[in-house]
Amino acid sequence: MAKEQVLEEEKEEGLTLEKFEEASEEVKKVTQETKLVYSEYFSAATGNKVYFKPENMQYTGAYKVRGAYYKISTLTEEEKQRGLITASAGNHAQGVAYAAKLAGIPATIVMPTTTPLMKVNRTRSYGAEVVLYGDVFDEACDHAYELAAEHGYTFVHPFNDLDVATGQGTIAMEIIKELPTVDYILVPIGGGGLCTGVSTLAKLLNPKIKVIGVEPAGANCMQESLKAGHVLTLPAVNTIADGTAVKRPGEKLFPYIQKNVDEIITVEDSELIVAFLDMVENHKMIVENSGLLTVAALKHLNVQKKKIVSILSGGNMDVITMSSVVQHGLIQRDRIFTVSVLLPDKPGELAKVSSLLAEQRGNVIKLEHNQFISINRNAAVELRITLEAEGTEHKNRIVQALNDAGYRPKLVKSKGTYSD
């Protein structure tokens, strides 16, 4: 069957302008208004007019409630009475749980055993029954299908569903109503539901709008599928953007992505860490790693003087992860660094180093003083100093000052790497 024929048949099921208009009215019952936020910081940095669509401000902390609620509105009474089931490690779980609660329908959510406790508790707080199963999403999803077959539940897929994609696409309706002259819309891609809905509606309303999908470099299943010309499964995924850590995109969505998405950009995890810091410092916003994909992608666009909207898909991040991301972001930007020097083992040497650092306006965060690194009393004490600096230039001045004073400083790399 030709791709065009598939598209025409599936449009009758879900992705039509009439369905998007219907969904836009329906989701207003469960969503908070997320007006565009103009970013002076990113506009100046990129030479464009940059706006954010802050779906991280939704009640459930992400856009997923849109697709879940609209999907429920399309179900028959018999399908609703059977109860809902889905699989998710976070945002879709909370979206379905919350939407089901408002609709008065029982919901069962299968979540991987590795899901952070905060997300599990939040899902339960909406009244859903949570089943913990498997180490990864794929295992949880297989188990959810088994439970659906066993108990007759109605399965609500996280992304590979045209009604779900239609609900997610209501974001595009809001963007274009508020900013009719938008040139580019950047959309995170995991399985492809959000990008399918947004790109399809954007092209229906204005074919001139460029829609750019953004994936983690370590989970670029859509990019690889587009290259191959068919849906394929990655052997593994490795990214801190857990909400988009998907091995295989949705088959039902793929023809729409092929037709409506102008480009796929991939982003490294290290870029997400810096983007988190930028959003906290410049916009006082908490955005989860998957939601930061479209922020990090801004510097990859080779355009000027365009109106660009980056969709911030969610903000569900636990405090421990948050603190780790902040620390690694400061290290990457040379705002925090550690240097090691050797001192003679005699009184007053520590005071000399402290005085030198004070002259260079280096703020000491931590000191480690080790007397037993050497038996040579002329250079027997290792002093490891963790400092706060204003950036790379300031850091280099501090290191040079230590070197000029004869301390032969060595930069110490931070131990370990960040993981979600």
For domain 64-155, the CATH architecture is: 3-Layer(aba) Sandwich (3.40)
Answer yes or no: same fold for 3-62+161-328 and 64-155.
yes
Share of the chain above pLDDT 90, in %: 69
pLDDT at 41 exceeding the cut of 90: yes
Average pLDDT over residues 49-59: 96
Q: At what angle do helices 64-74 and 17-27 cross, to 10 degrees?
A: 110
How many CB atoms within 10 Å of residue 386?
17
Predicted pLDDT of residue 371: 62
CA distance 88 to 137: 6
Does the domain at residues 3-62+161-328 carry the CATH identifier 3.65.10.10?
A: no
pLDDT, mean over the chain: 89
Predicted pLDDT of residue 242: 85
Q: What are the residue boundaries of the structural domains of the chain, listed by start?
A: 3-62+161-328, 64-155, 336-412
Q: Which pLDDT band, with edges at 50, 70 and 90, does 330 fall under?
A: confident
Q: Are 67 and 14 in contact (CB under 8 A)?
A: no
Residue 229's beta-bridge partner residues?
none
Select from 240, 288, 287 the least CA-distant residue to 268.
240
Average pLDDT over residues 18-22: 96
Q: Which residue has the higher pLDDT, 110 or 377?
A: 110
Predicted pLDDT of residue 9: 39
**Among 83-97, 343-357, 405-419, whose mean pLDDT is lowest?**
405-419
Q: Are 214 and 186 in contact (CB under 8 A)?
A: yes
How many CB atoms within 10 Å of residue 281?
12
Q: Tell me the whole-structure pTM to 2 decimals.
A: 0.84
What digits encode the pLDDT tens for the residues 185-197? 999 999 999 999 9
pLDDT at 263 exceeding the cut of 70: yes
Fold of 336-412: Alpha-Beta Plaits (3.30.70)
CA distance 169 to 188: 13
What digits encode the pLDDT tens for the residues 364-397? 988 887 765 555 555 568 889 999 999 899 999 9
pLDDT at 173 exceeding the cut of 60: yes
Which residues have a catalytic role annotated?
64, 313
Q: Which pLDDT band, with edges at 50, 70 and 90, does 4 fall under?
A: very low
